[in-house]
């Protein structure tokens, strides 16, 4: 790994990162593991390279898990016992937040006062824990929501369940208490302000990144051999958790339309679905396979389990087009990874995908979820694939985890300086000062 740098003045020495419902050690693409897991892994490693030690607290989901795992030099994952190991759904976790919080506070109590300089919570459940830890330790709380209940409920897919009122209230509480809110995009920042009355001066836009070394163009023929794809195949790729929110059914309907419009295409067309059922998709785990049969394209659709990063990069390189038809995405790391490999993207014009994909340059954004529109978009991308492939790589190169980590360190330092300047001990009350724009970040307007 790169040599560790000295921390910048004002940067924290040690950060408590909270990820209650999913572990950074989990394989993305199944269960509750997805882009947030990738985010925590990549940011934690780069913070450590900058001299900031990171302890990631996550709930233990198996009795076989060791209490402590070194994920990378300077990054420790701590498995917290909170509720039964197996069979506990995300919607049941609020009842275990007391146990989880107690374990986090006990860990800090084993050290000298001031062991953690800052708390960074991910998702609203972690924000609830971080809120208490921040007050107990008198350190700043930085919160990244990743998804927002009010936004999800505005764009529900058919068959998907709305997020409960308890989550909405929990998110409102965390937004009100956090010292900094980190949004992935300008749109997410505006959603925090509009839907949750977030303070614009405490709401920062810090885009996620992509590993440009791992996800990079390569030998396409070799990639196709690696994933057993014929050299002349036309490959449409979906990567992600199989659930209504991610809308893989839209891709299957679009593929059926492509075949119906051009039957000669069938022998070459392959639809690759990389992922596993998750969320409400677990209620009918074989539904996508059944849909492929009902549409008459079972011979065209091929299913793959979630893939480790290096293998996933081969799938991206082997594809002609990556399709991301989600009903909502706070960012859309899959789209960015595909483009970094030189694969253009057809994506829904929702949420962070409007930032992750540059319409007409690195792919095509589609309004709505009509399969006919996706079939048209796929044809348009195929007609200009070589040019869009160049644009995809250039667009992805604008994002990097190093930039993300640098902007976070600046936000950490700013929040700590603000607290140090106005906190009145032993009271835990402080005034929030307006935040100036810092390199690599923006303040929500």
DSSP label at 295? T
Q: Are strands 118-122 and 269-274 parallel, antiparallel or unpaired?
A: unpaired
Q: What CA–CA distances, in Å, run from 45 to 4, 176, 210?
A: 10, 29, 13
Cβ pair 251, 271 in contact under 8 A = yes
Does residue 348 sit in helix, strand or coil?
Answer: strand
Q: Is 317 annotated as a binding residue?
A: yes
Strand-pairing partners, residue 239, are: 274
Q: Is 352 annotated as a binding residue?
A: no
Q: Is 37 annotated as a binding residue?
A: yes
Q: Is 329 annotated as a binding residue?
A: yes
Q: Is 220 annotated as a binding residue?
A: no
Q: Is 27 annotated as a binding residue?
A: yes
Q: Is 147 annotated as a binding residue?
A: yes
Q: Is 246 annotated as a binding residue?
A: yes
Q: Is 35 annotated as a binding residue?
A: yes
* d(C-alpha 399, C-alpha 291), whole Å: 36
Spell out the long-range contacts of 80-89 with Cβ–Cβ below 8 A and sequence spacing 24 or more: 80/104, 82/20, 83/59, 85/60, 85/61, 86/61, 86/62, 88/61
Q: Is 290 annotated as a binding residue?
A: no
Q: Is 34 annotated as a binding residue?
A: yes
Q: Is 404 annotated as a binding residue?
A: no
Q: Is 36 annotated as a binding residue?
A: yes
Quote helix, strand, coil % in the chain, to nearest 5.
45, 15, 40
**Half-sphere exposure for 115 (CA within 13 Å, toward CB):** 15
Q: Is 328 annotated as a binding residue?
A: no
Q: How many CB atoms lie within 10 A of CB 391?
A: 18
* d(C-alpha 91, C-alpha 56), whole Å: 21
User: If we measure between CA atoms, which residue out of 276, 386, 251, 263 comes closest to residue 320?
Assistant: 386
Count H helices and E strands in the chain, helices first. 15, 15
Cβ pair 116, 108 in contact under 8 A = yes
Q: Is 90 annotated as a binding residue?
A: yes
* d(C-alpha 436, C-alpha 198), whole Å: 16
Q: Is 355 annotated as a binding residue?
A: no
Does residue 281 sit in helix, strand or coil?
Answer: helix
Cβ pair 136, 428 in contact under 8 A = no
Q: Is 167 annotated as a binding residue?
A: yes
Q: What ranges make up the beta strands (E) of 211-312?
A: 234-239, 269-274, 301-304
Q: What CA–CA distances, in Å, run from 92 to 99, 122, 367?
A: 13, 17, 35
What are residue 204's phi and psi, to 5 degrees?
Answer: -110, 145
Residues annotated within the binding site for UDP-N-acetyl-alpha-D-glucosamine are 27-28, 35, 241, 246, 307, 329, 337
Annotated binding site: 21, 27-28, 32-37, 90, 123, 147, 167, 241, 246, 307, 316-317, 319, 329, 337, 343
**Residues within the annotated binding site for Mg(2+)?**
316-317, 319, 343
Binding residues for 1D-myo-inositol 3-phosphate: 21, 32-37, 90, 123, 147, 167
């Amino acid at each position: 790994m790169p040599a560790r740098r000295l921390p910048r003045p004002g940067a924290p020495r040690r950060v408590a990162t909270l990820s209650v419902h999913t572990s950074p050690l989990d394989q993305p693409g199944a269960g509750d593991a997805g882009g947030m897991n990738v985010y925590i892994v990549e940011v934690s490693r780069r913070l450590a390279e900058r001299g900031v030690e990171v302890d990631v607290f996550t709930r233990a989901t198996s009795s076989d898990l060791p209490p402590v795992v070194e994920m990378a030099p300077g990054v420790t994952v701590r498995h917290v016992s909170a509720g039964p190991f197996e069979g506990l759904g995300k919607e049941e976790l609020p009842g275990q937040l007391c146990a989880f919080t107690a374990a986090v506070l006990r860990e800090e109590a084993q050290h000298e006062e001031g062991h953690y300089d800052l708390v960074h919570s991910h998702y609203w459940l972690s924000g609830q824990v971080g809120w208490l830890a921040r007050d107990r330790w008198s350190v700043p709380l930085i919160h990244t929501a990743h998804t927002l209940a009010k936004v999800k409920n505005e764009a529900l897919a058919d068959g998907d369940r709305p997020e409960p009122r308890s989550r909405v209230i929990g998110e409102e509480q965390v937004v009100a208490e956090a010292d900094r809110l980190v949004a992935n995009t300008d749109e997410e920042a505006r959603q925090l302000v509009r839907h949750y009355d977030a303070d614009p001066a405490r709401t920062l836009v810090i885009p996620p990144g992509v590993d440009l070394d791992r996800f990079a163009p390569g030998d396409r023929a070799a990639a196709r051999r690696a994933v057993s794809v014929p050299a002349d195949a036309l490959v449409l790729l979906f990567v992600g958790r199989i659930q209504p929110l991610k809308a893989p059914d839209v891709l299957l309907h679009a593929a059926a339309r492509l075949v119906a419009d051009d039957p000669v295409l069938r022998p070459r067309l392959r639809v690759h679905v990389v992922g596993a059922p998750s969320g409400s998709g677990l209620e009918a785990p074989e539904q996508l396979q059944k849909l492929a049969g009902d549409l008459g394209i079972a011979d065209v659709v091929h299913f793959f389990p979630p893939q480790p990063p290096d293998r996933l990069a081969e799938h991206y390189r082997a594809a002609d087009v990556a399709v991301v038809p989600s009903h909502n995405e706070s960012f859309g790391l899959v789209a960015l990874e595909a483009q970094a490999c030189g694969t253009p993207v057809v994506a829904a014009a929702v949420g962070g995908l409007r930032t992750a994909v540059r319409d007409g340059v690195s792919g095509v954004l589609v309004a709505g979820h009509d399969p006919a529109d996706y079939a048209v978009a796929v044809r348009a991308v195929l007609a200009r694939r070589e040019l869009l492939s160049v644009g995809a790589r250039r667009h992805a190169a604008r994002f990097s985890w190093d930039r993300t980590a640098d902007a976070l360190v600046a936000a950490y330092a700013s929040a700590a300086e603000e607290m140090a300047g106005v906190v009145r001990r032993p009271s835990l009350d402080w005034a929030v000062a307006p935040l100036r724009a810092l390199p690599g970040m923006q303040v929500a307007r």
